[in-house]
Structure 1
Amino acid sequence: MSVAASDGTRALASAPSSPMQAGGLRIAVRFALRELRGGLRGFAVFLACLTLGVAAIAGVGSFSSALTDSLARQGAAILGGDAAFSLVQRQANEAEMAALGREGTVSTVATLRAMARIGQGESFASTLSEVKAVDGAYPLAGTLEAEPALPLSDALAQKDGAYGAVVDPLLAERLNLKAGDRFQLGEATLRLAATLKAEPDLLSTGIGFGPRLMISRAALDASRLVQPGSLVRWSYRVKLNDPGRLAAFVEDVKQAVPDAGFEVRTRESAAPRLEKDVNRFTQYLTLVGLTALLVGGVGVANAVKSHLDAKRAVIATIKSLGAPGGTVFAIYLVEIGLIALIGLLIGLIVGAALPYLVVWGFGGFIPIPIEASLQPTALLLAVGYGLLVALAFALWPLGLAHDVPVSALFRERVEGGRRKPRLAYRLATFTAAGALALLAVLAAEDRRIAVYYLIGAAAVLLALRLVASGLMALARRLPRPRATEARLALGNIHRPGALTPTVVLSLGLGLTLIVILALIDRSLTRELTANLPNEAPSFYFLDVQSTEADRFAAFLNREADGGKVEMVPMLRGRLITLGGRPVEDLKPPPEFAWVLSSDRGITYADAVPEGSNIVEGSWWDPGYAGPPLVSFEKEIADAFGLRIGDTVVVNVLGRPITAKIANLRKVDWQRLAINFVMVFSPNTFRGAPHTALATLKLPEDSVQAEGRVARDVGSAFPGVTVVRVKDALAQISEIMGQLLLGIRAASLVTLMSSVLVLAGALAAGQHQRVYDAVVLKTLGATRGRLLLAYGLEYAALGLATAVVAIGAGTFAAFIIVTQVMKLGFSFSAPAALGAAGIALALTVGFGLIGTARALGQKPARLLRNL
């Protein structure tokens, strides 16, 4: 015996009964390091799963934090000043302007949708544009970039009877404009002076349905698009002389003009919707990464079990020399921990580098400059997830080695060890799993979603495990087929050490996620396209002046023969109180926060709007002249705890309006017909300036008529904004398609983990396959018959996994689409068959690759050891 071996024997013989006692941990570390000298063979899947999951979480968190930090650093440039005060349908009066200008410089920006047009008659062309009228002080912060590089005042100046315009290249393309060409906006003649390259406050003004058209305030006045009640947003940006007085200044303005109805934003929250969307998307991608880690956890457990099986002789020797079970556990816990640290380190490096790679490769496509940097919090979170997953899935198989007797380790094929580890190891496993769940909840942006995710993940894991046990029990009870290959395949599904639980678990989660995404995609596409011809109007017409409403309706009825015209008055109002509670004190569910986020469209009517049904209360009588009444949408009212008789206060055109809830309506929003959250009794707004909103529904197969109506309306009513519903939905569909594409790409991380775990499980079972193949070949089985038997086994497992994934994914997608998105659900057979195909291909493919290698082994070496 060598000196080193003698030293090791003495160390083991004198090892403390507990590895945590003095010297116990040192011995465990020494032996773990000696074992690792032989390399990491067998731990490739272990490392890959941890690396993949940790890299996904670290990368997503790092990029999100870098983006959030950039938004915070550039808040003033994104907002256009230190603070922005916005009004809809009216401009600030003298008192309000005086309050805004007390402590700094004020820049006024007006935004609206309008039709830019060119030509006459058959050569007439028009396009919806997002008009932005700025004054001489714009921009107070940030830099506007245009081509050619002109001072903004020169680019927007009036020359030769035409006002300059800086336009999005897309608008120039749609109207076929070149530098110096003239076109119309309302009654104003514009000249293309430059094309827009970068707009500093784009994120704060929002990205609309049309391309940007930037003009001067003088050009906006000349267009005569701004009429009483016109849907124009007036934003007053303030650059403070003392930026440190931001909070005090905002409070002073509120005190000075309490009834102004300003929507207020500051540089500290310049793009709240974007930040919220970024946080939500980050949470989703983090959960995807966590799902990949959970799937990878199965691979961790398989790798640990396989490693311990391969070390039976070593463990038996160590225990026979006097090492207690705790020391054996500690040795391999340290060994697994060191390997896990390698995977964590690789994952952290990849994750930390992701923001730099994104900025380098895609920085030009991101609307704000992002400064990539190391994000310690995101990296630590990824480390926490990785360590807890490794512990939660490794402790159970490690604990099994503690109480297995030496004789059982030498004769495991004859007699097995304990099925469960000691209570202490079970408690440690559950503690690690609980810590993982707690970390996921505490780190989540929306903890409710995190809790739902954890419940769902636990339910799916349990369901998959029960399905695997059910498959094994069914295979055990089925009649034995007469064909040898089928009988062997059936036996392999339920025998001790079968691959059934591993295959179902590893593939089940990944395929379930694929089915969920595919069915959500199908349902959204169907809602946005297939249902459109029967339910949606062809056009929306905005900013129809009340004085021209009758003439406009007559024009549509005359020009769109057979079309259905609907027109309602429209105003904008900002909610102040609901049920006597200020909106600032309300905390609605996230899906209803939009009701309070900005001004809402409101209307008045004598009759119940089409597409609405009264579910509580009653409608007012025609010609009602009492105190103002309002009809509220039922679902939103329930979210805010509103009941019949409660009051709401809405600021309309700078005037607070108090109305009592007379009834609650259920609205079919999917019809895309005109409808509102709030409908008031007509006497509420008698005499108030407003515009009308109209829709036109043309008969089916009227593409040519749509083009003609759009052209005729643009020519006869230049102040009316025409929104073609199909174009708007096409843009929404494109955006959602890009989002779903990103989600699907990110979700491939989970599928990759599933594939890795499956490959690892099949590799871990290769030793048993070699043993079986050699024995069967010795008894006369041919290579072809063995391949067929194993192929049938893998096909049955893959098909069973696909059936489970289709069922679970369909149920989850149904809940998400109908309960969260409030849309109709559409099942897609191609998505289901695609999942089945993926499952079969992966399972049979990897299984037969491993089997072919096993069948190629020489039998003599194995037979000599039998």
Structure 2
Amino acid sequence: MNEQRQTPGLGLAARFALREMRGGLKGFFVFIACIALGVMAISGVASVSRALTEGIASEGQSILGGDLAFSLIHRQASEDERAFLESLGDVSTAATLRAMARKPEADSQTLIELKAVDGAYPLYGSAVLQSGQPLHDALGLSATNGAWDGVADLALLARLDLDVGDEISVGRIKVRIAGLLENEPDRLGSGMTIGPRLMVTPQALEAAGLIQPGSLVTWRYRIKASQLQTDAALNATIEEAKDTFPNAGWRIQSRANASPNLQRNIERFAQFLTLVGLTALVVGGVGVANAVRSFLDTKREVIASFKCLGASGGFVFRVYLMQIMTLAAIGIAIGLALGAVVPLIALTLLEPLLPIGASVGIYPAELMLGAVYGSLTALAFAIWPLGRAHDVAPTVLFRDSVSARNRYPRKRYIVATLTTLLVLSALALLLAYDKRIAGFYLVAAIGAYLLLTLVARFIMWAARRMPHVRSTEWRLAIGNLHRPGALTPSVILSLGLGLTLLVALALIDGNLRNTLTQTAEEQAPSFFFVDIQNHEKDGFLSFVQQSAPDGRLETVPMLRGRITALNDIPTDELPPPPDDGWVLRGDRGITYSNTIPENTEVVDGDWWSSDYTGTPLVSFAAEIAQNLGLSVGDTVTVNVLGREITATIANLRTVDWESMSINFVMVFSANTFAGAPHTHLATITWDETPPVEKELDLLKQVTTQYPTVTSVRVKDAIAQVNELVGQLSWAVRGASSITLIASVLVLGGALAAGHRNRIYDAVILKTLGATRFRLIYAYLAEYLLLGLATALFSLLAGSLAARFVLVDVMDGQFTMLPGTALAAVIGALFFTIGFGLLGTWRVLGEKPAPTLRNL
């Protein structure tokens, strides 16, 4: 014979795999659903992020208000600076600051975001009024009947119970609400706002008397530079501005980076949701492994036949790997189809809340990312159970369906599994926006998975060694925990990961809310008073002390400055620090003092003397200095009022940020800003929480007597933060529920995988005299034990994770919340008992005869 025996190749394995799949997808619906859910989450989130990012890019000019924007704090541009800006193109000037709006006849007032715009505003986009009237027709150029015209947000009308045409007092003028502002094109590029918007003319702002030396006002100069068509031309102009006016201290943005804060937040949230999707895939991987094991169990006669006819273990592995990956491809295709639709649905629902228009479309790169994650997950969790079939002898397969269940596969399959998991982890790490957080997540996910495996094995070990109990039902329940093919590993792994994530998020959210509320009640001052001028400081303090004699007043000088260099290295040339990078972005509040501030402690270095007159010194917040790599003796350069000031760090001090009292990252020696125009910041605190009426009465008196001073009620600000945290937490928990859905799918798959053995048990026990009630009781006890074990682990692991985030990452405090603990226990019991009994009821309804005939 010239014919040589050849090892079956991939083609033959593929033909066998496709022929065997003619029977349909029975038993693999959970497998496909788990893969589809994870792929949908990852590709959908990535697509939504891409749509928002492209929306920002496409609307960059409108968001920024120009092709370029130059921002200054405290001061307007000088003549030379203004001439340079006008040489670039058309210029529009806007001034923004916080002020108090009062409705005198109703004795009510509120904090507002006041904005004065010139006739060129807006350079891009449209300012839309509800009436359809042009903006500048509504504003006018002068006062009419003693009142200036302005346009306002609907929120301002709601807070002060106003209608269009009503008048309010702002500073020293009256403003008539001439229109309702529906769209402010550059609102997003104007930075964070606290109060509702009121828009007036520059003439009205000047008449209000709110602009004084040192006032916290931001001047923004938007440039319409039609000749700067490319990003390279914009960047060259920015560098020219920096070189021409190195000490201007202005913040420069271009249309290519119109809203960096929003962009960072989108990327961070997208990273979190991607990690949630990856968690769902990992949880679904448990379902993949369960489905593969169950599938191989039904194919043991076929595998035995293959081997009896000469097929190698490698051939068997290839046949069934092809089948599994084909099924995974079906799940991935479904996930990609759903992921492509997610942006359309999500952005349609979020359209009323989004400050920008999103560019909805199909994004192949983002969809491909989901496909890669899905493929790697399916492969990683399928190789191990498939590898076990390689060395199982045909006689064992015919004789015993469970004897090979706990054997390890060959080393090649172990290495292949670990390699695939490493590739999956590396991909998640490399594509992460914040690699440090992604690294924490990967370590936590791996640790949780290993720990859950150990917990499941411990429960099985403990159940196997439990003392004899008299109740037959409880003996059966305990035996089911450790029997071959027990549900214990699947339930603990699947529900454990999902519930742990939700417990951690709920505890973080609850602790943040409690901290804000408790601090507001126990430590935080009642009011911050901003923009107190030097000439009115003494009178203001005396007035407040007389109006609230039992209150405790604190006042400090207040300026705004931006850190431009650390140790003579410009901040834009420094690598972004992993923590506290916000200190180097934008302007910071700064102060000066010759005495150590209250509630602080110098931990390194010494404070300067009260009569110090040497070179400028600065005290820096210790923790932030450490994260920035600063120490005593280093230098910090800040730009204040267009002046570059370099100070040496004399000491590092602790800062109690949680107290919400007056705190600064930097406190300079008093001689640093000698003669510089500035305002003062004051707080008032009561030893016991005052009634709301008492606070509002003081607010009314201060606003009436000192109309140019801005009063911020801390409880109002905290209420807004609490509302924002609440909305965000619901969004986060809603997104995280994807993981719980995957857990439920895996639980359902585990029950389906054990369906065959459960039928066998139920038929035998019923034949021996067991009633349906006693069997339900036994299964109920089993699911109760599994649910309690899962709940206890989720509670412990979720609490530890929340504590790590709150204490070690956020430097906060952690308190155990019993309500969250109870919710975790109820959730675990609901899913395990509910789904368990649902599957058991089907089992108990099976007829005994067909099963007994095959014994």
TM-score by length of 2: 0.97
Distance 2:725 2:405 in 1: 53
Tell me how many residue pairs correspond in the alignment. Answer: 847
With over 3 angstroms needed to count, the CA separation of the structure-2 counterparts of 1:425 and 1:15, relative to structure 1, is farther
How far is the alpha carbon of 1:291 from its aligned partner? 0.2
Match of 2:847 among 858, 862, 866: 858
Query: 1:29 matched to which residue of 2?
Result: 14
**Worse-superposed segment, 616-625 or 744-753:** 616-625
State whether residues 611 and 671 of structure 1, in contact with CA within 8 Å, keep that contact through their aligned partners in structure 2.
no
Query: 1:56 matched to which residue of 2?
Result: 41
Match of 1:834 among 820, 823, 837: 823
Pair 1:126-2:129 in alignment = no
Query: 2:369 matched to which residue of 1?
Result: 381
**Worse-superposed segment, 267-276 or 354-363:** 354-363
Q: 1:571-610 maps to which residues of 2 (within 5 A)? A: 571-610=559-598
Query: 1:766 matched to which residue of 2?
Result: 755
How far is the alpha carbon of 1:547 from its aligned partner? 1.0
With over 3 angstroms needed to count, the CA separation of the structure-2 counterparts of 1:486 and 1:538, relative to structure 1, is same
The superposition leaves residues 394-432 of structure 1 with CA deviations (integer Å, 9 ceiling, x where unpaired) of: 111111122211111111247436711122222221121
Distance 2:576 2:403 in 1: 60
State whether residues 131 and 212 of structure 1, in contact with CA within 8 Å, keep that contact through their aligned partners in structure 2.
yes
Pair 1:39-2:28 in alignment = no
How far is the alpha carbon of 1:387 from its aligned partner? 0.3
How far is the alpha carbon of 1:466 from its aligned partner? 0.5
Give SS of 1:632's match: strand
State whether residues 404 and 417 of structure 1, in contact with CA within 8 Å, keep that contact through their aligned partners in structure 2.
no
Distance 1:601 1:417 in 2: 65
Give SS of 1:195's match: strand
Match of 1:716 among 700, 705, 709: 705
How far is the alpha carbon of 1:312 from its aligned partner? 1.5
Query: 1:10 matched to which residue of 2?
Result: none
Pair 1:783-2:772 in alignment = yes
How far is the alpha carbon of 1:481 from its aligned partner? 1.0
Pair 1:273-2:256 in alignment = no
How far is the alpha carbon of 1:265 from its aligned partner? 0.9
Q: 1:233-272 maps to which residues of 2 (within 5 A)? A: 233-244=218-229, 245-272=233-260
Distance 1:418 1:845 in 2: 29
Distance 1:678 1:365 in 2: 36
The superposition leaves residues 752-805 of structure 1 with CA deviations (integer Å, 9 ceiling, x where unpaired) of: 000110111011101111111112222222222221112111111111111111
Distance 2:168 2:587 in 1: 32
Query: 1:140 matched to which residue of 2?
Result: 123
Unaligned runs of 5+ in 1: 1-12
RMSD: 1.5
Give SS of 1:364's match: coil
Whichever residue aligns with residue 362 of structure 2, its letter is L
Pair 1:845-2:834 in alignment = yes
Query: 1:406 matched to which residue of 2?
Result: 394
Distance 1:786 1:364 in 2: 54
With over 3 angstroms needed to count, the CA separation of the structure-2 counterparts of 1:428 and 1:414, relative to structure 1, is closer
With over 3 angstroms needed to count, the CA separation of the structure-2 counterparts of 1:486 and 1:241, relative to structure 1, is closer
State whether residues 99 and 256 of structure 1, in contact with CA within 8 Å, keep that contact through their aligned partners in structure 2.
no
Q: 1:251-400 maps to which residues of 2 (within 5 A)? A: 251-400=239-388
Query: 1:745 matched to which residue of 2?
Result: 734
Distance 2:5 2:462 in 1: 47
Query: 1:3 matched to which residue of 2?
Result: none
Give SS of 2:111's match: strand
The superposition leaves residues 520-563 of structure 1 with CA deviations (integer Å, 9 ceiling, x where unpaired) of: 11101111112321101001111111111111111111101311
Whichever residue aligns with residue 345 of structure 2, its letter is L
Q: 1:403-802 maps to which residues of 2 (within 5 A)? A: 403-413=391-401, 415-416=403-404, 419-698=407-686, 699-802=688-791
How far is the alpha carbon of 1:365 from its aligned partner? 2.5
Distance 2:242 2:673 in 1: 25
Whichever residue aligns with residue 544 of structure 1, its letter is I
How far is the alpha carbon of 1:588 from its aligned partner? 4.0
Pair 1:216-2:201 in alignment = yes
Give SS of 1:745's match: helix
Whichever residue aligns with residue 598 of structure 2, its letter is E
Distance 1:428 1:233 in 2: 59
Query: 2:63 matched to which residue of 1?
Result: 78
Distance 2:475 2:160 in 1: 72
Distance 1:241 1:854 in 2: 74
Query: 1:95 matched to which residue of 2?
Result: 80
The superposition leaves residues 652-697 of structure 1 with CA deviations (integer Å, 9 ceiling, x where unpaired) of: 1111112111111001110111010001111111211110001111
The superposition leaves residues 229-281 of structure 1 with CA deviations (integer Å, 9 ceiling, x where unpaired) of: 00001111111131233122112111211110111111111000100000000
Give SS of 1:401's match: helix
State whether residues 297 and 401 of structure 2, in contact with CA within 8 Å, keep that contact through their aligned partners in structure 1.
no
Give SS of 1:651's match: strand
Distance 1:799 1:293 in 2: 24
Distance 1:509 1:124 in 2: 54
Whichever residue aligns with residue 15 of structure 2, its letter is R
Give SS of 1:259's match: coil
**Worse-superposed segment, 854-863 or 519-528:** 854-863
Give SS of 1:366's match: coil
Give SS of 1:402's match: helix
State whether residues 102 and 110 of structure 2, in contact with CA within 8 Å, keep that contact through their aligned partners in structure 1.
yes
Whichever residue aligns with residue 726 of structure 2, its letter is G
State whether residues 630 and 681 of structure 1, in contact with CA within 8 Å, keep that contact through their aligned partners in structure 2.
yes
Whichever residue aligns with residue 261 of structure 2, its letter is R
State whether residues 47 and 342 of structure 1, in contact with CA within 8 Å, keep that contact through their aligned partners in structure 2.
yes
How far is the alpha carbon of 1:704 from its aligned partner? 0.9
Whichever residue aligns with residue 128 of structure 1, its letter is L
Give SS of 2:358's match: coil
Unaligned runs of 5+ in 2: none
Give SS of 1:609's match: coil
How far is the alpha carbon of 1:361 from its aligned partner? 3.2
Whichever residue aligns with residue 180 of structure 1, its letter is G
Distance 1:556 1:605 in 2: 23
State whether residues 117 and 185 of structure 1, in contact with CA within 8 Å, keep that contact through their aligned partners in structure 2.
yes
How far is the alpha carbon of 1:177 from its aligned partner? 2.0
State whether residues 526 and 826 of structure 1, in contact with CA within 8 Å, keep that contact through their aligned partners in structure 2.
no
TM-score by length of 1: 0.96
Query: 2:132 matched to which residue of 1?
Result: 149
Distance 2:251 2:177 in 1: 33
State whether residues 523 and 826 of structure 1, in contact with CA within 8 Å, keep that contact through their aligned partners in structure 2.
yes
Query: 1:4 matched to which residue of 2?
Result: none
Give SS of 2:23's match: coil
How far is the alpha carbon of 1:16 from its aligned partner? 4.5
How far is the alpha carbon of 1:624 from its aligned partner? 1.8
**Worse-superposed segment, 326-335 or 220-229:** 326-335
State, as a whole percentage, how many aligned pairs show the same letter: 53
State whether residues 15 and 323 of structure 1, in contact with CA within 8 Å, keep that contact through their aligned partners in structure 2.
no
How far is the alpha carbon of 1:518 from its aligned partner? 1.1
Match of 2:217 among 217, 221, 232: 232
